[in-house]
A = this chain, B = another copy of it.
Amino acid sequence: MVEIADKSGPVFHMVDGAPSPVAPYSHAVEQDGWIFVTGQMPSIDSDQGSIYPEGIEAQTHQVFTNLKQVLAGLDLTLEHVLTMRVFLLHFDRDYHGMNAVYRSYFSPGRYPARTCVGVTGLAKGALVEIDLVARRPSSPIFS
């Protein structure tokens, strides 16, 4: 009965190789095939700790690298994402640069729902943070 109870609650995922958490969160939490991924920063783990690349284009690419790594650790890809939320530290300056990079990660006609707003602060001075909700493909009833 304990095993059933465990399986029916949230599963807290920490993904090997994904950036070390900078705060109390799991990389992703899953239940019943729904996956909530923590907002990823543009972190690159290194011997000197975590660093960010320079500029909105490089940081946006790095955020996607990190999101894809978390998803891959759960056997998922960006194709399974339903919605993303984008937070920018310098909205007016970086909106178009972020969009240009963002667009390159999806096939036309298969863009997630999205909300993008400007904020006053992100962890360790990042220029961009993105979180997402994904869904595992439904199992075919007859297989």
A interface, CB within 8 angstroms of B: 1, 4-5, 7-10, 12, 14, 23-32, 34, 36-39, 79-83, 85, 87-88, 91-92, 95, 99, 102-103, 106, 109-123, 129, 131, 133, 135, 137-140
> How near does chain B come to A83, taking the closest CB pair, in angstroms?
4
Given the known A-B contacts A91-B120, A95-B121, are A113 and B5 also in contact in the complex, defined by CB atoms under 8 Å? no
Copies in the complex: 3
16 further interface pairs, Cβ-Cβ under 8 Å (given A7-B138, A38-B83): A4-B140, A5-B137, A8-B139, A9-B137, A12-B111, A23-B102, A25-B113, A26-B110, A29-B112, A29-B113, A31-B135, A36-B83, A91-B119, A117-B129, A119-B120, A120-B120
